[in-house]
Amino acid sequence: MSPQPIGVAVIGAGMAGRAHCAGYRSAPTLFDPPLPPLDHVAVVDADAGVAADAATRYGYRRSGTDWRELLTADDVHVVSVVVANALHREIVEALLAAGKHVLCEKPLADTLENANAMVEAAAAHPELVTGTGFVYRRQPAVAAIRNLVAEQLGTVSHFNGRYWCDYANSPLTPMAWRYRGGPGTGALNDIGSHLIDLAEFVCGPMESVSGAAFTTLIRERFVAKGTTYGHSRAELTDEKQAVENDDVATFTAHFASGAVGTFSISRIAPGHANSLAFDVFGQHGAAKWDMDRPAEFSVLRNAADDASAALNGYNQVLVGPAHPYLKGGVPMDFPGVSYGVGDLFGFQARAFLEQVAGIEGGLPPVASFADGVRDLTIIDAVTRSAATGGSTITLPAHP
């Protein structure tokens, strides 16, 4: 008897929502063992035209504008929530109460209070799988560096990370939900959440943050005439609204291991479309990675003697099937054949569906709701540090 298909739906058909739609499409083609059959059921968005276009483009059977219709849809079992942060809690709690497995985009919620409530809602339904969409954990090079830190580089002394983008660099980029919400909800929350998660993913938990500082260069933005998605431009009205949050955020951290961390986040960095990068320095060497060249990373191992030290330097490593995710994860799983962020959403969807289907021994599980709360806990601490002149804020232990 054939297994029952897993019905999937996506709420939100903007930039990241479409990545989730595509991820569920590619998931059955990736890795082994085979997944149960998938039924790509529905795409929901507040804009009917956008929902219909995504459903048609990615092969989902229907589209709609009311996410509540999914609550009573017997053919929907798994739902990705990819909408504005302030909407996450209401939608996720309702989906869990209706018996749906939920993958929620990062950050988990707009506030720490709402994120904790979502964790409690998930705990009330232990039969359901939940996860937070920290997709950059699926970067093969990042996962390879994490293994190097654990196995070869020794005790880490310093993690230096940056996430620089230019999506908000133009004053003609229209007003959107990303520019509302108060200090800490801007660049720090939007893209810094990824960098913070990667830092702990690679180096372990932080114990404190300090020295935080924010700045906002563009203090007003024009209101768009129509619906906007992602970071796209649009026809503008003459009305302007105040930007309420941070364009740039910087801070330092101390890790439980004794390492220190330095962090730089910007959404107004000219020439950096989507530049996530980090260096990690350890007792026995170092490694670095830059998403501008995602399918390679650099490794240095300390020289054994003075003669070797004269020629010591970073080695370029091309990601290939010997590294995480590549073998069976891309059609041409060969060193030097690159991949993009879209592939990571396929890896993430595959991992989440493995959890739902109870497949063991496959990909690492998706980050939990608790991981989402942890990320927001650090963001809250950084925000409090910035509000108090850079004071040191001690973090709770990560459960």
Pair 100, 70: CB distance under 8 Å? yes
Q: Which CATH number fits domain 139-335+375-386: 3.30.360.10, 3.40.50.300, 3.90.420.10, 3.40.50.920?
A: 3.30.360.10
Question: What percent helix, strand, coil does the chain show, rounded to 5?
Answer: 35, 25, 40
Residue labelled with tokens 């954990």? 137
Pair 247, 189: CB distance under 8 Å? no
Pair 118, 97: CB distance under 8 Å? no
The per-residue pLDDT for 2 is 59
User: CA quadruple 213, 219, 223, 224: dihedral positive or negative?
Assistant: negative
Would you give the DSSP letter of residue 295? T
Pair 209, 392: CB distance under 8 Å? yes
Question: For residues 199 and 184, what is the distance between their CA atoms, to the nearest angstrom?
Answer: 18
Q: Tens-digit pLDDT profile for the chain (399 aa)? A: 457 899 999 999 999 999 999 999 999 999 999 999 999 999 999 999 999 999 999 999 999 999 999 999 999 999 999 999 999 999 999 999 999 999 999 999 999 999 999 999 999 999 999 999 999 999 999 999 999 999 999 999 999 999 999 999 999 999 988 999 999 999 999 999 999 999 999 999 999 999 999 999 999 999 988 777 667 777 889 999 999 999 999 999 999 999 999 999 999 999 999 999 999 999 999 999 999 999 999 999 987 666 666 667 899 999 999 999 999 999 998 888 889 999 999 999 999 999 999 999 999 999 999 999 999 999 999 999 999 999 999 999 987
CA distances to 38, 151, 333, 356, 357 from 6, in Å: 5, 38, 27, 9, 8
Residues 6+ apart with CB under 8 A from 51: 13, 43, 44, 45, 63, 64, 65
Q: State the CB neighbour count (10 A cutoff) for residue 79.
A: 29
The per-residue pLDDT for 337 is 83
Question: For residues 385 and 152, what is the distance between their CA atoms, to the nearest angstrom?
Answer: 34
The per-residue pLDDT for 338 is 82
Same fold for the domain at 6-136 and the one at 139-335+375-386? no
**Three-state DSSP class for 140?**
helix
Pair 168, 176: CB distance under 8 Å? no
Question: For residues 270 and 165, what is the distance between their CA atoms, to the nearest angstrom?
Answer: 7
- For 194-243, write each residue's pLDDT tens digit: 999 999 999 999 999 999 999 999 999 999 887 776 677 778 899 999 99
Q: Does domain 6-136 bear CATH number 3.90.1170.50?
A: no
CA distances to 162, 164, 248, 292, 310 from 287, in Å: 15, 19, 26, 16, 19
Q: Where are the domains of the chain?
A: 6-136, 139-335+375-386
